[in-house]
Amino acid sequence: MILFAVVILFATCKNKKEETQINTDAMNIINDTTITGTIEKIVSGVGDINRIRVEKGVNQVARFWKAEDGTDEDFMTFCTENFVSDTSKLKELFEKTSYYFEILFGNFSKMNIELKRVLHLEMGEISQIDLMFGSYNPASHLNDDLFSNKIAHNIILNFPFYTLEEKEELGKDWTREQWAYARMGDAFTSRTPASILLKSSEISTLTDNYIAEYNIVMQNLRDKEGNKLFENDLKLISHWGLRDELKSNYSKGDTGLKRQELIYEVMKNIVTQNIPKDVINNEELIWNPYTNKVFRGDEEITCEREPDTRYEHLLNNFRVLKEIDEFSPYYPTYIKRAFEEDLELRQEFVESLFIELVSSEQAKKTGQFISQRLGRPLQPFDIWYDGFKMRSSINEDDLTRKLQAKYPNVQAYERDISSLLVKLGFTNEKANEIASKIVVEGARGAGHAWGAEMKSEKAHLRTRMAAAGMDYKGYNIAMHELGHNVEQTITLHDVDYYMLKGVPNTAYTEAMAFMFQTRDLELMGIRNTNPDEKYYQNLDIFWGLYEIMGVSLVDMSVWKWLYENPEATPEQLKNQVVIISKEIWNKYYAPVFGVSDSPILGIYSHMIAYPLYLSAYPLGHLIQFQIEEYIKNNNANFATEMQRMLVTGSIVPQAWMLEAVHAELSNQPMLKAVDEALNNLNNR
């Protein structure tokens, strides 16, 4: 008890100290006279030809300078002594810094992977110490340290930051080296105190664990009549597992429809937080989502609803991310950081792109086409209609039996990666090289890919692995994550500059993952000989876009509301998410479905655990479609084209698209393809 009191006292003192530091941690304290004098002093020594770079660098260093960094005189001395004008010395500085960054980022990433291993993999029960270590971010003080020892100031001075507008305009004429220099200028766009970064990591990990452990025991669900519809040993994570199970039931007639309706009721209860808290991840209790009654055996028991925990996690993420705003002069809101910094696309552009598609006539026509195929009016859960895919006519149980025989464990899948890549068109040499840099592991949650940050490390592919072996859902996830890992590996090892590794944003790596995922059956030796395959495939992509764009619009609207209502309670946030979900549904989906006030667009777990990540998925599908069309129209090899595009690296998105497919990102190719598909299929 004494030890506990000491810990509390220490934590209280520490928090007060940090709070004081943050409140007095003012940046941008250098006066204009000193800035101007510093610029002129440097230019007088290095020549007017360097003026633009000097002005940028000095002004940007001043933006992040704090009292602890020194006086105005110290500022001037630092800038004049550290500005590098000689091009060969500047290149040497760049190359050395790139090497040091790879060492730092690579090793911190490796530590993160190991500290979160128990949280991410199927390794038994998670203890409190696992959560404590898993939520610790070993890199949380890195930014602080690099500013304290003035490494950050040196980089800002010599490799200044360029805005998105500047990159889009000036980048048209940049060399690869200039692009790499500009990316180094993106390294320090905020000076967020370590205490906030550590808090953000802790909150993110706790939220991620909440989602990873949010499972519904399907055999314990009951329908309106009290019937059991699902077999034993089926536990599904929300939302991914529930959604995928719903999709898999389109080929199962009336039984499948009843299961889909039951899953939809579960989802509505999760969004509105009417779900009884004790049925979550609980194999003992029976639950009827229609009546919301809970039973232990035959006896009805009283259960409280989940106390808005879902929205408390979202609110916690919002509050800690909002704390970063004042330390990010170029991106002063998380919305701007998520779009203009991370995606490098303006939020307004993304929103208008999504609205254009979800309000299109093509959406209404495709909805009518699906209704005809189903032989019934659409229901809200048909946003996940899966009947365009070849696998919708194949019994998933048969697929699972084949896969479990082939992949009884994760090691079997890992050994087969090279063979899978060869089937996709990679040379034996390249396939072996890529496969040797990927390790496969059984995921606790839905699955994910974690790429390496330095060349000496491997990428990690995590997918769900059932006790009997890899089922079809796990295989489908694995193919998606393999696409991520292949992108991560190629762009780390084959791109010419470390600072250009990767792709422009997460949407592009999602596009690569989608391209692998759509070839899952082909890699099992199952081919579609239907001459209309391309039409159905394009409708499938479009309907997926229609669904996820609506979810993304909800996500964006929720974050705008949070910034307008930063003091909201979890209950108020919950109510607003339901309101926004229904508003978006009524505006863009009710005219197609004929059903109003569905909250289903609020179900995605990403909105809770991965703030404003959802937009990457529809953008990724649009990118995927344009790349697939380019490959098909040019009769090109998939693997060859993928490698060509990926070595472009992380230049800005629209410039990358012009390099890859000679066209900017747009809805128009997709909408045109939908018209073509419907015209052909309706005339059969």
Q: What is the pLDDT of residues 291-307, one digit of tens each?
A: 999 999 999 999 999 99
H-run or E-run covering 235: strand 235-237
Q: What is the rounded CA–CA span in Å between residue 463 and residue 240?
A: 12
**Backbone CA torsion sign across 236, 241, 246, 252:** negative
Domain limits, the chain: 22-84, 210-310, 333-388+529-682, 395-524
Q: What is the pLDDT of residue 529?
A: 77
Helical ranges in 83-188 per DSSP H: 87-115, 117-120, 128-134, 142-148, 151-158, 164-170, 176-184
pLDDT band at 433, cuts 50/70/90?
very high
pLDDT at 392: 59
The 10s digit of each residue's pLDDT in 267-295 is 999 999 999 999 999 999 999 999 999 99
669 to 242, 373, 620, 625, 674: CA distances (angstroms): 31, 25, 14, 8, 9
Please compute the mean of the pLDDT values over residues 467-476 and round it to a whole number.
91
**What pLDDT score was predicted for residue 393?**
66
**Structure-token match 């026509």, residue found:** 365
Res 381 pLDDT > 90: yes
Q: How far apart are CA 20 and CA 509, in angstroms?
A: 41
Looking at the chain, the whole-number percentage of residues with pLDDT higher than 90 is 88
13 pLDDT exceeds 70? no
Residue 684 has pLDDT above 80, yes or no: no
Q: Which residue's structure tokens are 């930051």?
A: 161
DSSP 8-state assignment for residue 683 = T
Predicted local distance difference test score (pLDDT) of residue 20:
36
The pLDDT of 71-79, averaged and rounded, is 97
Could you give phi then psi for residue 121, rounded to 5 degrees?
-110, 160
Tens digit of pLDDT for each residue in 613-637? 999 999 999 999 999 999 999 999 9
10 Å Cβ neighbour count for 193?
Answer: 20
pLDDT band at 137 (very low <50, low <70, confident <90, very high): confident
Q: What Rg value do the Cα atoms of the chain yield, rounded? A: 26
Q: Return the pLDDT at 382.
A: 98
Mutual angle of helices 347-358 and 361-374, in 10-degree steps: 50
**Type of residue numbered 237:** I
Report the run of H or E that residue 237 belongs to, with start and end: strand 235-237
This prediction has a pTM of 0.86
| Predicted pLDDT of residue 19 | 37
Mean pLDDT over the full length of the chain? 93
Confidence of residue 23 (pLDDT cuts 50, 70, 90): very low
Residue 485 near residue 449 (C-beta atoms within 8 A): yes
24 — pLDDT class (breaks 50, 70, 90): very low
What pLDDT does residue 497 have? 98
SS3 string of 405-447? HHCCCHHHHHHHHHHHHHHCCCCHHHHHHHHCCEEEEEECCCC
User: Tokens at residue 491, please?
Assistant: 């762009």
Confidence grade of residue 391 (pLDDT, cut at 50, 70, 90): low
Give the mean pLDDT of 595-607: 97
Report, as an integer, the average pLDDT of 56-85.
97
pLDDT greater than 70 at residue 408: yes
Sequential DSSP letters for 332-361: -SHHHIIIIIII-S-HHHHHHHHHHHHTSH
- Burial of 542 (C-beta count, 10 Å sphere; 0-12/13-18/19+): buried
* Amino acid type, 126: I
Burial class (CB in 10 A: 0-12, 13-18, 19+), 407: buried
How is the chain split among helix, strand and coil, in percent rounded to 5?
A: 65, 5, 30
pLDDT at 155: 98
Whole-number pLDDT of residue 656: 97
Chain segment 144-176, per-residue pLDDT in tens: 999 999 999 999 999 999 999 999 999 999 999
Instruction: Using pLDDT thresholds of 50, 70 and 90, give the confidence band for residue 580.
Output: very high
Name the band, by pLDDT with cuts 50, 70 and 90, for residue 456. Answer: very high
Q: Which residues pair with 288 in a beta bridge?
A: 293
For residue 2, pLDDT beyond 50: no
42 within 8 A of 58, measured Cβ to Cβ: yes
Cβ atoms 492, 455 nearer than 8 A: yes
DSSP three-state, residue 633: helix
Contact 550, 601 (CB under 8 A): yes
CA distance 325 to 345: 19
pLDDT on residue 397: 87
> C-alpha 683: how far from its chain's center?
40
pLDDT value of residue 633: 93
Half-sphere exposure of 11 (CA within 13 A, CB side): 6
